[in-house]
């Protein structure tokens, strides 16, 4: 299975800046020496820019997606964006349960699970984020935290669990320059894989991405781990060269 490298732009960008970033990425991909990278690529932009990404990327090898989706189908939820609306703009992915949403917007495991289910029902692949804080790691809770977060999604989406993407993002590694070592990340990915395997015989099909200060220099060793199937890239996805370097590190 190809690795999956997803950029999460977070709340960054502008019409002019996005266009130049995307065009530089596409030029870089076109100029890449054969063989093409063993990676599927996607960019997740703020919702207002999804139409722009659709226009720029529709005939390209890069897919696009959103950074969140509403837990509701439609109706009086001011400011929210429904999964069906993302589908209208041909989004392949929606990130759900990013730690920044859990932390700053009070999203619970149940909310995240409902969002994943809404995305699936609309034909959008949810990228479900799980991960422990520094305190949780230091007090030996890493495994129980990520398992609890994933269990809520397994419970809600049932046999559709093989249709999701999981992203392990240790909160202490996000935007800090502190990356989990490949061994630390692999240990948690193996736990998540085993949990998926207990829920489905097709668990191997599920991409489990690593996220947290991934960059061109550390990507190859992370992506070489047996249960690391790709990356969810924040800061480095805002620079074409860095993002493409990560994609090229996928084997």
To the query of whether residue 107 is one of the catalytic residues in this protein, the response is no
For ligand 13P, the closer CB: 116 or 199: 116
For ligand 13P, the closer CB: 85 or 130: 130
Q: Is 169 in the site for ligand 13P (CB under 6 A)?
A: yes
244, 27 in Cβ contact below 8 A? Answer: no
| Binding residue (CB under 6 A) for ligand 13P from 234, 244, 247, 250 | 234
CA-wise closest residue to 94 among 126, 116, 62, 64: 126
Residue nearest to ligand 13P (CB): 234
In the shown chain, the binding pattern of residues 5 to 44 toward ligand 13P, with x for contact by CB under 6 A and - for none, equals ---x------------------------------------
- Two tokens, residue 110: 């149940």
For residue 128, the cross-strand partners are: 96, 166
To the query of whether residue 138 is one of the catalytic residues in this protein, the response is no
One of 100, 107, 169, 189 is an active-site residue; which one? Answer: 169
CA dihedral of 171, 172, 175, 180, whole degrees rounded to 10: -100
In the shown chain, the binding pattern of residues 189 to 228 toward ligand 13P, with x for contact by CB under 6 A and - for none, equals ----------------------xxxx--------------
Distance (Å, whole) CA 180 – CA 172? 9
Q: Is 233 in the site for ligand 13P (CB under 6 A)?
A: yes
210, 168 in Cβ contact below 8 A? Answer: yes
One of 98, 107, 189, 207 is an active-site residue; which one? Answer: 98
Distance (Å, whole) CA 236 – CA 217? 11
For ligand 13P, the closer CB: 74 or 176: 176
101, 123 in Cβ contact below 8 A? Answer: no
182, 217 in Cβ contact below 8 A? Answer: no
Q: Is 126 in the site for ligand 13P (CB under 6 A)?
A: no
Distance (Å, whole) CA 245 – CA 224? 15
In the shown chain, the binding pattern of residues 39 to 78 toward ligand 13P, with x for contact by CB under 6 A and - for none, equals ----------------------------------------
151, 194 in Cβ contact below 8 A? Answer: no
Q: Which residues are catalytic?
A: 98, 169
Binding-site ranges for ligand 13P (CB under 6 A)? 8, 98, 169, 174-175, 211-214, 232-236
């Amino acid at each position: 299975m190809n690795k999956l490298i997803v950029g999460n732009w977070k709340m960054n960008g502008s019409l002019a800046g996005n266009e130049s970033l995307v065009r530089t990425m596409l030029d870089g991909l076109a100029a890449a020496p054969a063989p093409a990278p063993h990676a599927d690529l996607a960019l997740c932009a703020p919702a207002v820019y999804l139409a722009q990404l659709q226009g720029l990327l529709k005939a390209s090898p890069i897919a696009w997606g959103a950074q969140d989706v509403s837990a509701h189908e439609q109706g009086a939820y001011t400011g929210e964006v429904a999964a069906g609306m993302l589908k209208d703009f041909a989004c392949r992915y929606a990130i759900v349960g990013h730690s920044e949403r859990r932390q700053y917007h009070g999203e619970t495991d149940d909310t995240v699970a409902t969002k994943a289910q809404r995305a699936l029902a609309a034909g959008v692949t949810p990228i479900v984020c799980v991960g422990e804080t520094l305190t949780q790691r230091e007090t030996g809770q890493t495994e129980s935290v990520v398992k609890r977060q994933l269990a809520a999604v397994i419970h809600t989406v049932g046999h559709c669990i093989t249709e999701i993407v999981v992203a392990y993002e240790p909160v202490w590694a996000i935007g800090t320059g502190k990356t989990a070592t490949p061994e630390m990340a692999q240990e948690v990915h193996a736990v998540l894989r085993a949990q998926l395997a207990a829920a489905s015989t097709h668990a191997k099909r599920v991409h489990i991405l690593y996220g947290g200060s991934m960059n061109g220099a550390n990507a190859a060793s992370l992506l070489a781990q047996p249960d690391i199937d790709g990356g969810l890239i924040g800061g480095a996805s805002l620079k074409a060269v860095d993002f493409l370097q990560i994609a090229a590190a996928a084997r």
